[in-house]
Amino acid sequence: MNEEVLPQNIAAEQAVLAAVLLDRDSIKNILDILDADDFSREAHKVIYKAMMSLFFHDEPIDYITLTNYLRNRDKLAAVGGLAYIM
């Protein structure tokens, strides 16, 4: 069975995640359009899911809350650590 591989644009994925970090409210514009499974990198899926969880729990979505969220769930290293989030 051949599965079609969708085009991947890692820079675009990073830009979406960065936009949410820079402006928490920007996630409102993409929640109905973009699902975590739309990201090609597993790390980006994990980060986006974390951002969605923070948003739905009315928490800030910034460097500190995101890294704490990931660290508390033992997922920070899996996404590339602090350096990748920066």
Encode pLDDT of 56-85 as tens digits: 999 999 999 999 999 999 999 999 999 999
pLDDT of 8: 84
Q: HSE, CB side, 13 Å, CA atoms: give it for residue 54.
A: 23
pLDDT of 79: 98
pLDDT of 6: 61
Encode pLDDT of 25-47 as tens digits: 999 999 999 999 999 999 999 99
DSSP codes, 25-65: GGHHHHTTT--GGG-SSHHHHHHHHHHHHHHHTT---SHHH
Selected residue with higher pLDDT from 2 and 54: 54
Element (H, E) at 81: helix 81-85
